[in-house]
Amino acid sequence: MISDIMKSAESRMQKSIESLKNELTKIRTGRAHPSLLDHISVDYYGSMMALSQVANIAIEDARTLSITPWEKPMVAVIEKAILKSDLGLNPAVAGTVIRVPVPALTEERRRDLVKVVKNEAEGARVAIRNIRRDANGELKALEKDKTISEDEERRAEDNVQKLTDKYIKEVEAVFEKKEKDLMAI
């Protein structure tokens, strides 16, 4: 019983960390990275598809992405989708290849992005604390039903707290790494 609650809490905390990392990949640093375009969808013969499903995205150099659509008519559609996105990128078309230069970040923009990263990290911390609260609630219910003793409940709550501390530290590490990436020129 207690081990099931602990496993459930740990897997949910791990998912919170993965979610945070996933959200942070969308926040760009000064370097070009294909995941920058992950959330862009294009109209592919009447249905919306992810850009990566209709074209090959590659890194040309540190500040340039190159997109090669699998079909020639998709060039204009992809260019329009990138322009409409909230990324502030200006693609340049050269035949069937679309080059997307990633501009360098200004100091002010870097600070704004650090604030966004800080908010994402705080959201992950809150999610982890909510998981702790849920796990402790389940443990209290077990103790109230006389399924486990008070001592077992206390020990389990201590373990849940240790787990929470571990994942909060992991959130801090992910945040600091992203902050360092953003502030590096």
Residue 30: predicted pLDDT: 66
DSSP 52: G
What residue type is 127 in one-letter code? A
- For residues 13 and 128, the answer to whether their CB atoms sit within 8 Å is yes
3-state secondary structure 32-86: CCHHHHCCCEEEECCEEEEHHHCEEEEEEECCEEEEEECCCCHHHHHHHHHHHCC
Burial class of residue 144 (count of CB atoms within 10 Å of its CB; 0-12, 13-18, 19+): exposed
Task: Write the DSSP assignment of 118-172 as a string of letters.
Answer: HHHHHHHHHHHHHHHHHHHHHHHHHHHTTSS-HHHHHHHHHHHHHHHHHHHHHHH
| Torsion sign across C-alpha atoms 172, 179, 37, 123 | positive
What does the angle CA 21 – CA 23 – CA 24 come to, to the nearest 5 degrees? 65
The pLDDT profile of the chain, 185 residues, written as one tens digit per residue, is 888 999 999 999 999 999 998 888 777 666 777 877 777 888 888 888 888 888 988 888 878 889 999 888 888 888 888 888 767 778 888 888 999 888 777 788 788 888 888 999 999 999 999 999 999 999 999 989 988 888 999 999 999 999 999 999 999 999 999 888 888 76
Residue 27: predicted pLDDT: 75
Beta-carbon contacts of 183 under 8 Å, excluding residues fewer than 6 positions away, are: 110, 114
- Structural domains of the chain, ranges and CATH numbers in brackets: 2-26+106-183 (1.10.132.20), 34-101 (3.30.1360.40)
Q: Report how far residue 32's alpha carbon sits from residue 50's, in angstroms, rounded to the nearest whole number.
A: 18
Residue 18: predicted pLDDT: 93
Backbone φ, ψ for residue 10 (5° rounding): -65, -40
DSSP E strands, 80-130: 92-94, 97-101
Partnered with residue 185 across adjacent β-strands are none
What residue type is 20 in one-letter code? L
Cα within 13 Å of Cα(107), Cβ side: 0
User: Is-above-0.85 flag for pTM?
Assistant: no
Residue 16: predicted pLDDT: 93
